[in-house]
Structure 1
């Protein structure tokens, strides 16, 4: 069978777009942050979780540690049984079901079985492709860990949603690579016994073909009426959304959201005020349209925007029916700010740490960057856009 040809070869590549914009940008280049944002410095690079006692948990490639002064100092680092590495964001997440009882989900990045191979002739991954999704429990604040259990086999990738609902259910949203044709699909995994056992939902499949195509890198929040809202990265110019009426067991209402987006994930959080907050990369930067581009098949079936210079934030007062006018909170022209990790450190105080922050395309020449901002300041900047 002949190698597939690329019908979009006349379009610019993603790296070439970023290289041209970086060359035109003034130096030295550091990320611009909106005046409502304050810098967060000297943070560990890992997954964060505010604990019930007010302290802050971080799990990174070194293990688990707790800070009681917003990251200025950290406790002893305890070994954490997971496969994380510092360079890979959105591959580990935690929930606290009771004081000291932690549930951690993670991609086993350091497994010797980890492998990804792609056959350009068939347009499919090879059969040995493997990146497993696991869960593990600690009943004593990270001093000991249970035997891990595999939640999804095959090949899985980054995720942006692991929540505990008001009824106590743990809900993880994940992406999974399927074949025939190769594409990504999304699902949820739920536990009603503090992570001891799990059930998988139906698969959310919007089509596509390519190792970066389909429904990818989901995030999730609980709505005021108890439904769940999943927001999904796509290559279709918009984030897509799915709703569950049974706590993530099934997803039966699926469609395009009103939020334009590049091919990049966002993070959705339900704030203690009841508002929803989303941070993501829009389809175009504020200074004009972003070229449709292709990395070349088999990356994606159709061209898409890969804009990642700006991170925008929007609020919803009505469970996602309408969103406020997006506000750019961070920018690095010619560079890369994406894969946001976001959490409410205390009521109304938002911390946001991009998983990728670099002066060039895809983590080349990385730059440290993390900010915090107030919900009310963002709200005052935004006006509703229906």
Structure 2
């Protein structure tokens, strides 16, 4: 009798553990869902560096660079194409819609989309003609992305190779539009991995552009691919891909015209870009990055894994609720776009050593905070 009771409890415990594991896996699936994989195929070696925009009819548009030909290099032919979701990002259309066809002598890539305060939509992307001529362009849509106006070059004071990552354009509460740039080469200079960082800004909804002063950075640190976030007090924080084992940061109190000396943040990171946006309902910051810097292998080998999310409740001074959403130790995950929809957040990011694929992941904000 005792043996039968003991066996009963062992079986019951095992069944309970299996049920709990299955329920946990189900909850993980609902809270952290991979909802779209855009993988390479014939005459399509790469799909990467996208951006999101919410439309008035409730749909979400995701625009990314679709490369063609046999090469997936940053300078290979590409066009900007879009996919739509009508259910908050759970499912997506299967066919690409051309947004900007091939232009420039090399390609177009690195998309940013932004709903402006005048209710129009801005599309910003890099047009590459040569290693001496890569500049961000802006197009405006007045009909919810059905059509786009003519492209205007944001940088007209000089020519050079300017890098602006995807999902980087912001509009301040004052109405000023800011675009962070990193200049690496001109026709009269050699290529430098260390970029000259500065912001171009518009105070008339993107019609005309001016530029601020360069961000002062330590000579011995490589600085690249800046991003921006406006804090609650109106100060602008620039976060910077850097070679020190940490993301660097600089601050502006005059709308991006002048900047403090850049220094290390508390975000350990390989020399890889990070993305930060404010969560609409809470005002907290959401960070997405490769949590693999400082003394980790990423600092030495440049590994862009894992892909990690974290929350800051104090304007980026500290980070908590750290969770990996991609953990393949041999994987590559980077150039993330962030879009909030209801009680979820969508992340679009490049996958693979050559960024051959674009993934969209849908996270429950409740799960992110727990």
TM range (shorter): 0.7 to 0.9
| Alignment of 1:57 onto 2:61 | yes
Q: CA deviation at 1:313?
A: 1.2
Q: CA deviation at 1:338?
A: 1.7
Equivalent residue number for residue 195 of structure 2:
184
C-alpha separation between the residues in 1 aligned to 2:357 and 2:84?
Answer: 24
Q: Is the 8 A contact 1:42 1:72 kept in 2?
A: no
Q: Is the 8 A contact 2:321 2:368 kept in 1?
A: no
C-alpha separation between the residues in 1 aligned to 2:283 and 2:236?
Answer: 13
C-alpha separation between the residues in 1 aligned to 2:331 and 2:92?
Answer: 28
Equivalent residue number for residue 362 of structure 1:
354
Q: CA deviation at 1:42?
A: 5.3
Equivalent residue number for residue 274 of structure 1:
283
> Which of 155, 168, 188 is residue 161 of structure 1 equivalent to?
168
Q: CA deviation at 1:315?
A: 0.8
C-alpha separation between the residues in 2 aligned to 1:139 and 1:291?
Answer: 43
Q: Is the 8 A contact 2:246 2:293 kept in 1?
A: no
Residue segments in structure 1 that go unaligned for 5+ positions in a row: 1-33, 117-128, 294-304, 381-386
Q: Is the 8 A contact 1:240 1:257 kept in 2?
A: yes
Q: Deviations over 1:338-372 (max 9, x none)?
A: 222222123x41111222x12xx334xx4563311
| Alignment of 1:140 onto 2:143 | yes
C-alpha separation between the residues in 1 aligned to 2:299 and 2:37?
Answer: 37
Equivalent residue number for residue 51 of structure 2:
47
C-alpha separation between the residues in 1 aligned to 2:111 and 2:103?
Answer: 9
Which structure shows the higher strand fraction?
A: 2
Equivalent residue number for residue 96 of structure 1:
115
Q: Is the 8 A contact 1:267 1:279 kept in 2?
A: yes
Matched length? 308
* Partner SS, residue 202 of structure 1: coil
1:152-301 residue pairs with structure 2 within 5 A? 152=155, 153-159=159-165, 160-178=167-185, 179=189, 182=192, 183-207=194-218, 214-252=222-260, 254-272=262-280, 273-284=282-293, 289-290=296-297, 293=300
Q: CA deviation at 1:77?
A: 3.5
Q: Is the 8 A contact 1:240 1:256 kept in 2?
A: yes
RMSD over aligned CA atoms reads: 3.3
Equivalent residue number for residue 86 of structure 2:
68
1:276-355 residue pairs with structure 2 within 5 A? 276-284=285-293, 289-290=296-297, 293=300, 305-324=301-320, 326-346=322-342, 348-355=343-350
Residue segments in structure 2 that go unaligned for 5+ positions in a row: 1-27, 39-46, 65-78
Q: CA deviation at 1:224?
A: 1.0
C-alpha separation between the residues in 1 aligned to 2:239 and 2:285?
Answer: 12
C-alpha separation between the residues in 1 aligned to 2:274 and 2:248?
Answer: 11
- Classify 1:62/1:186 alpha carbon distance in 2 versus 1 (closer, same or farther; 3 Å): closer
Which structure shows the higher helix fraction?
A: 2
